[in-house]
């Protein structure tokens, strides 16, 4: 299946404030947002996209516009490429593409069998199978609690340890079956491995740290009135983004009479924007998308 870009019109509408400006798409994927940005900007403007996934990078080679370039890198190295106060808008459309989930070989989905990998960049770090067959019980437990909010984290961690003592966990179905077999209660609509797979993906790709590192750079690269648009797909990402911009208030001593809005480096100009019913009916994945937009003051 193709990847349907989520909140496409809404995000690009917020992002582009100057058709001749300089823009960054941090998460190229299959280029849905990049393509729309290129349609809206002039030939003098520039779009630089990033993706740490080799397939996304390869896909981007079809984009021939002279004002477009793609980097096969994580979005946590933005500052290597741009000067401070040089960018008009930065877009993040976080998480996985449908193409990751549909390809069993990438090891992202409990619905498709394949090697238990789950890395966006398969040349860096370790596949999930290496970690899950060696990590101590407490580490597995923490990942499931912290990144999956999984209430049966203990049961699952124990089942993983028991299983790997007899046989290595090598495929997505190995892991999904271990979780399904130990999960208490009646099987509900949502697969019992949903939260665990999310947790392991976030951990193995160091996702939350890379978002924070990238935002630290993005806020310096933006010009005054520059825009950051973030589309998140779960509450961990969304809470991180929300609290990141809250925590960047400039603190003035109490006796200086400046009101709280003037104290902020960023103003939130749109919060908790969700996909329309029409969009959700065409693309069910958009149901969990939440968009926030911030303007540099
Ligand atoms: C939801 S998809 C983006 C879809 C894209 N907006 C489109 O319309 O086709 C997210 C993409 O971000 C990439 N990604 C995830 N973490 C990344 C990171 N730290 N740096 C760069 N790319 C990342 C993934 O490989 C994936 O292709």
**pLDDT tens track for 204-224:** 999 999 999 999 999 999 999
pLDDT band at 262 (very low <50, low <70, confident <90, very high): very low
Q: What percent of the chain has pLDDT over 70?
A: 94
Structural contact between residues 252 and 263, judged by C-beta atoms closer than 8 angstroms: yes
The answer to whether the CB of 291 falls within 8 A of the CB of 10 is: yes
- Spacing, Cα 30 to ligand 1 middle (Å): 8
Lowest mean pLDDT among 45-49, 180-184, 244-248: 244-248
Relative to beta strand 46-50, strand 22-25 is: parallel
Q: Residue 217 and residue 211: Cα distance in Å, rounded?
A: 10
Strand partners, 229: 91, 293
Q: What's the pLDDT score for residue 246?
A: 87
Which ligand 1 atom sits closest to the C-alpha of 211?
19
Whole-angstrom distance, CA of residue 136 vs CA of residue 161:
9
pTM higher than the cut 0.75: yes
Out of 27, 29, 68, 101, mutate this one to test ligand 1's pocket (max ligand atoms within 8 Å of CB): namely: 27
**Nearest residue to 77 (alpha-carbon basis) of 124, 13, 37:** 124
State residue 247's pLDDT score: 62
- The values of phi and psi at residue 129, to 5°, are -60, -40
Parallel, antiparallel, or unpaired for β 46-50 and 266-273?
unpaired
Residue 102, pLDDT score: 84
Closest residue by CA, ligand 1 atom 22: 51
Regarding the beta carbon of 33 and ligand 1, being less than 6 Å apart is answered yes
Average pLDDT over residues 218-233: 97
Q: What is the CA radius of gyration of the chain?
A: 21
Substitution candidate for ligand 1 out of 51, 77, 78, 289 with most atoms within 8 A of CB = 51
Report whether residue 234 contacts ligand 1, using a CB cutoff of 6 Å: no
- Rounded to the nearest integer, the mean pLDDT of the chain is 93
Q: What percentage of the chain carries pLDDT values higher than 90?
A: 86
Average pLDDT of 172-183? 96
Quick one: pLDDT band at residue 249, thresholds 50, 70, 90?
Answer: low
What are the residues whose beta carbons fall under 8 Å from the beta carbon of 212, sequence distance 6 or more? 240, 244
Residue 161's pLDDT is what? 98
What pLDDT is recorded for position 248?
Answer: 60
Q: pLDDT tens-digit profile of 90-147?
A: 999 998 888 888 888 999 999 999 999 999 999 999 999 999 999 999 999 999 999 9
Confidence of residue 258 (pLDDT cuts 50, 70, 90): low
Burial classification of residue 197, based on how many CB atoms lie within 10 Å of its CB (0-12 exposed, 13-18 middle, 19 or more buried): buried
| pLDDT score at 186 | 76
Convert the pLDDT of each residue in 59-106 to its tens digit.
Answer: 999 999 999 999 999 999 999 999 999 999 999 999 888 888 888 899
Q: What's the CA gap between 157 and 162, in Å, rounded?
A: 9
Those residues with Cβ within 8 angstroms of residue 42's Cβ, 6 or more apart along the chain or in another chain: 19, 20
Kindly report the protein residue whose alpha carbon is nearest to atom 9 of ligand 1: 30
The pLDDT of residue 187 is 73
Q: How far is CA 163 from CA 91, 192, 201, in A?
A: 42, 17, 20
**289 touches 266 (CB < 8 A):** no
**What is the DSSP-derived secondary structure letter of residue 71?**
E
Angstrom distance (rounded) from CA 207 to CA 213: 10
Dihedral of alpha carbons 154, 158, 164, 169, sign: negative
Given a cut of 90, is residue 2 above it in pLDDT?
Answer: no
- Delineate the domains of the chain, giving CATH numbers in brackets: 8-98+207-296 (3.40.50.150), 121-204 (1.10.150.170)
By the 8 A CB rule, do 59 and 34 touch? no
Q: What span, in angstroms and rounded, lies between the C-alpha atoms of 170 and 132?
A: 9
């Amino acid at each position: 299946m193709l990847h349907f870009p989520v909140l496409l019109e809404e995000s690009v509408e917020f992002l582009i404030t100057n058709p001749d400006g300089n823009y960054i798409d941090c998460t190229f994927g299959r280029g849905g947002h990049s393509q729309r940005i290129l349609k809206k900007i002039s030939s003098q403007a520039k779009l630089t996209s990033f993706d740490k996934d080799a397939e996304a990078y390869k896909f981007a080679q079809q984009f021939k516009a002279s004002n477009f370039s793609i980097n096969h890198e994580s979005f946590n190295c933005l500052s290597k490429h741009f000067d401070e106060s040089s960018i008009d808008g930065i877009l993040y459309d976080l998480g996985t593409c449908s193409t990751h989930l549909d390809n069993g070989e990438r090891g992202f989905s409990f619905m498709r069998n394949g090697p238990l990998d789950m890395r966006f960049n398969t040349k860096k770090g370790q596949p999930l199978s290496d970690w899950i067959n060696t990590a101590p019980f407490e580490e597995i437990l923490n990942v499931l609690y912290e990144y999956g909010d999984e209430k049966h984290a203990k049961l699952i961690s124990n089942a993983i340890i028991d299983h790997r003592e007899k046989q290595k966990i090598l495929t997505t179905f190995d892991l999904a079956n271990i979780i399904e077999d130990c999960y208490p209660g009646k099987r509900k609509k949502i697969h019992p491995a949903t939260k665990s797979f999310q947790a392991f993906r976030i951990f193995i790709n160091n996702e939350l740290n890379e978002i924070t590192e990238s935002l630290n750079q993005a806020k310096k690269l933006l010009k005054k009135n520059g825009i950051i648009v973030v589309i998140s797909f779960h509450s961990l990402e969304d809470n991180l983004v929300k609290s990141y911009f809250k925590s960047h208030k400039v603190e003035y001593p109490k006796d200086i009479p400046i009101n709280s809005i003037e104290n902020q480096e960023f103003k939130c100009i749109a919060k908790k924007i969700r996909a329309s019913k029409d969009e959700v009916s065409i693309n069910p994945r958009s149901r969990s998308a939440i968009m926030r937009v911030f303007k540099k003051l």
